[in-house]
Amino acid sequence: MSDHLDATIYYDDDANSSQIIDKTVAVLGYGSQGHAHAQNLADSGVDVVVGLREDSASRKAAEADGLQVETPAVAAEAADVVSVLVPDTVQPDVYENAIEPNLEAGDTLQFAHGFNIHYNQIQPPEDVDVTMIAPKSPGHLVRRNYEHSEGTPGLLAVYQDATGNAKAEALAYAKAIGCTRAGVVETSFQEETETDLFGEQAVLCGGIAELIKQGYETLVDAGYSPEMAYFECLNEMKLIVDLMYEGGIGDMWDSVSDTAEYGGLTKGDVVIDDHARENMEEVLEGVQDGTFAREWIAENQAGRPSYTQLKAAERNHEIEAVGEELRGLFAWADEEETAEEKAEVSADD
Ligand code: NAD
Ligand code: MG
């Protein structure tokens, strides 16, 4: 056992496939996660029914992949395990109309993210199991890794164990989609939801985009060329993050020049200072006390007015136009893989 890790991690040997092989799994939604779970489960010998609306554009793709497609209600009725892989914002509606009327005692509600359970947007009856297997990766990689006999790390959580068998079945589900090949970390719906929302807001999506834009604007406003600002603040981000991903922050420091290392070590916390830390704590509080969840639910109920506006403003930022032109002028080293990934992602839509 490690001195620093406290979560339990499960691998293939911890999972018993018979817990899922005999069962029928309804995969509702055939987007990023849905197409990967459905195909991996089917290839692992599980009985899969995909649930999609009659007019869903995804129907053709699921049928072309050789899967049985029904409406969400018919699929849920037939299933022992209902894997809820429609967008989080439509899950409460799909639950109310298609899932809840078709749940039987002993069935399982299976999620890939905890939002709707944790914030009580879905309140399942007490006689069903409620579990989560959340791959820590977009669906096209969950599928590709499985096809290449590789795994995708994932999270496991049990919210409700009505049968006494919830965890064993969730582990078997994780094995069938390839997650236990890589390792599955045990967590709770609360921890997964809160860390996921905090991460995407403060560090990953929100934090990093703001860091890049503000760095870019600082250089351009000081009279430097947009090309230089783009390369310095956006393009090189990937190279730095790749180093951290492969070998930790230390590998990044080892790979850059001593000047970059000294400058970074002395100036990083001048930029991301105590004030930024306090702001992060405030963002975390909004996640923990449900303020963010209520805000996002209300925003959806109102037809997404702020979201639409913010999204458009972000797309119109100068760095986007500069980047588009620059990316067209240079032959990137990883061009082939990028094109392949793009093709796979658009095939998932
Ligand atoms: P997605 O947007 O890629 O796909 C949604 C699918 O649901 C599509 O097939 C769409 O046709 C279908 N759909 C939309 N509205 C519907 C409705 N009203 N009724 C029936 N079907 C409908 O979704 P996703 O990104 O795969 O997310 C699914 C779940 O997986 C979410 O809980 C999400 O948080 C979680 N998750 C996603 C990722 C990821 O990288 N995308 C990673 C981990 C967990
Ligand atoms: Mg049923």
Q: What is the residue-level pLDDT of the chain in tens, covering all 349 positions?
A: 568 888 899 999 999 999 999 899 999 999 999 999 999 999 999 999 999 999 999 999 999 999 999 999 999 999 999 999 999 999 999 999 999 999 999 999 999 999 999 999 999 999 999 999 999 999 999 999 999 999 999 999 999 999 999 999 999 999 999 999 999 999 999 999 999 999 999 999 999 999 999 999 999 999 999 999 999 999 999 999 999 999 999 999 999 999 999 999 999 999 999 999 999 999 999 999 999 999 999 999 999 999 999 999 999 999 999 999 999 888 765 555 555 555 554 444 4
The DSSP H or E segment spanning 129 is: strand 129-135
C-alpha 14 to ligand 2 mean position (Å): 27
pTM of the model: 0.93
121 CB burial (10 A radius; 0-12, 13-18, 19+):
middle
Token output for 324: 């588009």
**Cα 135 to averaged position of ligand 1 atoms, centre (Å):** 13
Q: Does ligand 1 have an atom closer than 6 angstroms to the CB of 29? A: yes
Protein residues placing their CB within 5 Å of the ion ligand 2: 104, 107
| Tokens (6 digits) for 68 | 């049985």
CA 170 – ligand 2 centroid, Å: 17
Atom 16 (ligand 1) nearest CA = 86
- Supply angle C-alpha 284, 286, 288, rounded to 5: 70
Task: Give the phi and the psi of residue 20 in degrees, each rounded to 5.
Answer: -125, -30
Instruction: Identify whether 113 is a catalytic site residue.
Output: yes
Residue 36: which region, alpha, beta or left (left: phi > 0; alpha: psi -120 to 50)? alpha
**Is residue 233 lining ligand 1, measured as CB closer than 6 Å?**
no
Would you say the CB of residue 72 lies under 6 angstroms from ligand 1?
A: yes
* Distance of CA 101 from the midpoint of ligand 2 (Å): 9
- Token pair in block for residue 170: 């969730």
Q: Using CA atoms, how far apart are residues 164 and 155, in angstroms rounded to an integer?
A: 20
Write down the catalytic residue from 35, 113, 118, 140.
Answer: 113
Model pLDDT, residue 345 = 47
By residue count, the chain amounts to 349
- The beta strand positions in 270-339, using DSSP E, are none
Contact 28, 72 (CB under 8 A): yes
Are 178 and 150 in contact by the 8 Å Cβ rule? The answer is yes
From 27, 32, 109, give the residue whose CB has the most ligand 1 atoms within 8 Å, as the site to mutate.
32
